[in-house]
Every structure is written in C-alpha cells, then in structure tokens.
C-alpha cells in the first residue's frame, strides 16, 4: 500500500481478520470488514465534498463509531483529524476551528445548536450530523450510503500529520500538538509491547476519545492488534459493571476518581470482574487505599505518565510494581527515552528533582502554526521539555513531583503541591484535594489546601493538618485548609489551579 499511515489500518485489518469484531456501541457490533467498507465510503464521500490531502476534518461528539470512522477516513485521504473537546464553550471551540482551519465539522446530533452557531461564524464550514437515520439530508449515514465503497490508496507518509490534539491551555490559549502518523503508530507499538496486548483484547472506552490517553493508550493499540473496542458515550458506574460482565472486558482505562467510584458502589463486592486483565490508570497517582481495594479483588493497576505531545505515553509502571512503587510513574516506554535536567542544564543526582525531557518516535515535532512555542518546547539537541518535575531512583523508576509552574517557594524551600496532595489522598476521608501557593508576608508563599471529603466521610481541618504534619516536613504543611463540595476543573477535567488561587488568595 502507498498509505503508510493510520488510514491504512482498516484495509490491513480487513485483509487479515475481516470477520473479527472491531467496534461495539449500544449493543451493535461491526466487523473489521464492515469498518473498512464504511471508512472508504466515508472517505470517498468527503472527497466528493472537496476534502483532500492536508485538509482538516473536525469532530464534535461523545465516543461513537463515527468518531473512529472519521479519524480513519481522514487518514485515507491524507487529511488531518481534529477531535474537539465537548466540554469547551462555543467561543473556545471557535478558536480551535479557526486556528486549525477545519473545513468540515462532523458532529453528534446533541451538538447541533453549537455546530450551527459555529457555522454562523465560519460560513465556509461544512456540517455533517451523526445520526442513525440514513435519510437525514447531509447526515453521516447518508454520506456513506451515497458514496462508492471502492478502496482509496493515497500516498501518506509516516511524517505526515494525522491529528491535531489541542492541549488544555491552562496558561493561555490551547496549543494544537501535531501528531504524525508515525507518532501514533510508535506510541501504539509502545503500548502493545509494554502492556502485552493480544488480538483477543476487549477494551472498554468510557473516557473521552478526544483525550490523547484514551485514544492513544487503549483504543488505537487495541485496533492495531485486531481486538475489539466497546464504546460508551459517558462514564457511568452501573453501565460500566454491566459492560464488563456482558462483554467480558479485558482492558479498561480511567483516572483514579473513576476507579474509586466503581469500588464504592454496592455492586463492587459481587460484580463479576474475572475477565479483566489490565487496568490502566493515569492523570494522577493512584492512592494506596484504592490499590488495596482492587488488590483484594485480585486486580492490579498499571500506572503511567504521559502528555499529548508524546502521543501520549512516556512512563509506565507495571502491575507487578504497583504495590511496591506506590506514587511512582514507572520507567520509559519501550521505544521512548527520558532524562531529567536541572534549571542550569546539568543532570540531577539520584533522587534529586529535575525537569522531564522526552525523546522518541512518538514525540511530536511541534505545535500547529506556533513556531515560537515549538522552539521554546525543545532543547537544542531535540528533546521535548515537558514542564513537569520528577525524580528517578537508583533502579530507574520515576516519580512525578509536580508541574514547574505549580511549584512555589516557601522560606527559600521548594514546595511541590503534588507531593502534599498525594499525602492528603492517603487519608480515608479525602475524596479530592488540591494545594496552591498563596502570598505570605513572612515566608513569601505558603500552602493552601482545598479538600473534598467523601460523602459520609468525617474529617475536619485540624485533623487533616495533624495528618499532614506527621508525614511531611514542616515547611510543606499548608498553613490553611479549606473544605469544599468540589474542586474547579477546566475543560479537560484537570483541576483549575489558577481559579483556586484567585478564589483563595
């Protein structure tokens, strides 16, 4: 094939295992043979609307087979797929569409009003609504039904851009990471090697696919191996248990709060979880108590650390090490390299903090239309600057300490909020916690902790302060602790620390 990118995957799978199940959604299954036919028909239909090499095709909607079909159809054409975060406001979506220059917006029917509002701003924008009704004019199914299913084989190279994934933009406007076909393939290979996926994998996708972790760490690796992806549009505790039992899920990904919610359900002790082989968890360290709860059910987490710019895998902690290495992010992915660097460019000693630098074929070459930000993000010898601080022990295991921008200095000592937050999460009553630095006339800055207590949990600020004082150096213990019902979060679900600082300063 001339196509060496993601767009060739449906055809390659269809010639190898055409009758294997590729996708499951709302009980409906599609084989790899069917997926291939739909992808090429969609590609031909989009080509008929003037889309081709280099054009950007955006998608707005929850997890759905149409999202994957649009991704692969863009790859068939040599076009660029731009998944949009459904939690963004219309103005934020408009910025992404404008900067990416997307010419088509494929959208879920529930986002029709937003899609129309966006087209009013960008009259050139073509809309394609995803609906089961093939008779819907300008609809997704109608587009596929009207187009020929003849295979297309455009020349697509590994270095060509496959996706633009926009980062959260906590320090300003979001930046679009240019993920090439090669970046995505090498990341998938890292997962296949390090997690040891098989062609019998049945992977649950109930975290959003517009996030690089869900797409890169579970979905694409499963499809590369010829396994099955089960698409759920939202995370729901009851539905998750049902899908695990009914579909015999073998691989699940989530953030700690998702796994915590499952373990606190009345169904937890009796649910049939015997099919699960891999639990991948990211976004934050897994609390010891949560590890223990899952261990009692015979389940262990594979924790990791990544970033959109690495497509996204960087570090992975095996299930075998999860109990002994609580709080660690692991070792570098198989085809990736990691090094730490002090602010003066030298290498820190074992156990000393340094910025995480990443290199490898899964690392992007820059940001879409942002040459200045691209230049600032790489060292002179080509390593990507993560902005994260980590330590590494004598055995090569890395622990993420914090974001450089979240660190504050109290009385001349560096304080890393993530370290304090990790200790707070060890308290049985704490459901969520965040720490920020706030101004102090004596020490420059001191810590302020904001804590969410589990429903029914009992903890007051004095007790939490004493809990921290027993486990941390005095300068790390927050001077004040506040109890709230929930933490503010940005569009990607991350805690909005800028909002916390504004609210608690």
pLDDT at 172 over 70: no
CA distance 495 to 382: 30
Contacts of 398 (CB under 8 A, 6+ apart): 305, 315, 328, 329, 330, 331, 332, 338, 356, 390, 391, 392
Domain at 6-17+27-157, CATH from 3.40.50.1170, 3.90.550.10, 3.90.1310.10, 3.40.50.12780:
3.40.50.12780
b/e code 460-490 from CB counts within 10 Å (16+ = b): eeeebbebbeeebeeebbbeebeebeebeeb
In tens, the pLDDT along 39-66 reads 999 999 999 999 999 999 999 999 999 9
pTM of the full structure? 0.87
The pLDDT score that the predictor gives to residue 170 is 46
Contacts of 28 (CB under 8 A, 6+ apart): none
Name the band, by pLDDT with cuts 50, 70 and 90, for residue 169: low
Write down the mean pLDDT value for the chain. Answer: 93
In tens, the pLDDT along 281-296 reads 987 778 888 999 999 9
pLDDT at 92 over 60: yes
Which whole number is the average pLDDT over 355-382? 96
pLDDT > 70 in the chain, percent? 97
In tens, the pLDDT along 235-283 reads 999 999 999 999 999 999 998 889 999 999 999 999 999 999 999 998 7
Which whole number is the average pLDDT over 324-349? 94
The pLDDT score that the predictor gives to residue 33 is 98
The pLDDT score that the predictor gives to residue 303 is 93
Residue boundaries of the structural domains of the chain: 6-17+27-157, 190-404, 407-504
Closest CA to 341 of 325, 361, 363, 358: 358
Fold of domain 407-504: GMP Synthetase; Chain A, domain 3 (3.30.300)
Cα 212 from chain centroid (whole Å):
4
Contacts of 329 (CB under 8 A, 6+ apart): 285, 303, 304, 305, 314, 315, 316, 317, 390, 398, 399, 400
Which whole number is the average pLDDT over 88-115? 95
CATH class belonging to 190-404: alpha beta
The pLDDT score that the predictor gives to residue 137 is 60
- Fold match, 6-17+27-157 / 190-404: yes
The pLDDT score that the predictor gives to residue 492 is 65
Q: How many CA atoms lie within 13 A of 237 on its CB side?
A: 13
In tens, the pLDDT along 142-151 reads 999 999 989 9
The pLDDT score that the predictor gives to residue 402 is 82
């Amino acid at each position: 094939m001339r196509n060496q990118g993601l767009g060739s995957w449906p055809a390659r799978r269809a010639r190898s295992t055409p009758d294997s199940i590729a996708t499951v959604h709302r009980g409906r299954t599609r084989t790899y043979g069917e997926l291939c036919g739909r992808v090429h028909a969609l590609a031909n239909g989009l080509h008929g609307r003037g889309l081709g090499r280099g054009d950007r095709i955006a998608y707005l909607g929850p997890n759905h087979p149409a999202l994957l079909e649009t991704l692969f159809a863009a790859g068939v054409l040599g076009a660029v797929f731009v998944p949009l975060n459904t939690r963004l406001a219309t103005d934020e979506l408009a910025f992404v569409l404008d900067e990416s220059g997307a010419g088509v917006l494929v959208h879920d029917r529930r986002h029709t009003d937003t899609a129309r509002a966006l087209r009013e701003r960008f009259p050139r924008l073509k809309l394609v609504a995803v609906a089961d009704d093939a008779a819907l004019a300008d609809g997704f199914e109608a587009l596929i039904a009207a187009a020929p299913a003849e295979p297309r084989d455009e020349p697509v190279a590994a270095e060509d851009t496959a996706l633009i994934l926009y980062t959260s933009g906590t320090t300003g406007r979001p930046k679009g990471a240019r993920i090439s076909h090669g970046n995505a393939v090498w990341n998938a290979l890292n997962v296949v090697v390090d997690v040891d996926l098989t062609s019998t994998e049945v992977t649950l996708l109930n975290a959003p696919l517009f996030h690089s972790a869900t797409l890169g760490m579970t979905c694409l690796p499963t499809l590369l191996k010829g396994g099955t992806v089960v698409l759920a549009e939202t995370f729901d505790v009851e539905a998750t248990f049902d899908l695990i039992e009914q579909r015999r899920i073998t691989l699940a990904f989530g953030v700690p709060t998702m796994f915590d919610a499952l373990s606190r359900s009345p169904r937890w002790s009796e649910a049939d979880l015997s099919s699960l082989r891999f639990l991948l968890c990211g976004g934050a360290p897994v609390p010891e108590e949560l590890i223990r709860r899952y261990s009692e059910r015979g389940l262990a987490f594979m924790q990791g650390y990544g970033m959109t710019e690495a497509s996204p895998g960087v570090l992975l902690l095996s299930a075998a090490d999860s109990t002994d290495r609580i709080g660690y992010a692991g070792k570098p992915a198989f085809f990736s390299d990691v090094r730490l660097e002090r602010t003066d460019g030298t290498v820190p000693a074992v156990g000393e903090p340094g910025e995480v630098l990443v290199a490898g074929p899964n690392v992007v070459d820059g940001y879409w239309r942002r040459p200045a930000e691209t230049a600032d993000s790489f060292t002179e010898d080509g390593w990507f600057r993560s902005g994260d601080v980590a330590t590494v022990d004598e055995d090569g295991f890395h622990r993420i300490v914090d974001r450089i921008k979240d660190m504050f200095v109290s009385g001349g000592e560096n304080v890393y909020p993530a370290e304090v937050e990790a200790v707070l999460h060890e308290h049985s009553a704490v459901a969520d916690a965040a720490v920020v630095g706030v101004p102090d006339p004596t020490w420059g800055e001191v810590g302020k902790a904001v804590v969410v207590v589990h429903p029914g949990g009992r903890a007051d600020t004095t007790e939490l302060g004493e809990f921290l004082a027993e486990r941390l150096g005095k300068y790390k213990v927050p001077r004040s602790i506040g109890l709230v019902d929930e933490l503010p979060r940005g569009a990607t679900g991350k805690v909005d620390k800028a909002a916390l600082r504004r609210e608690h300063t």
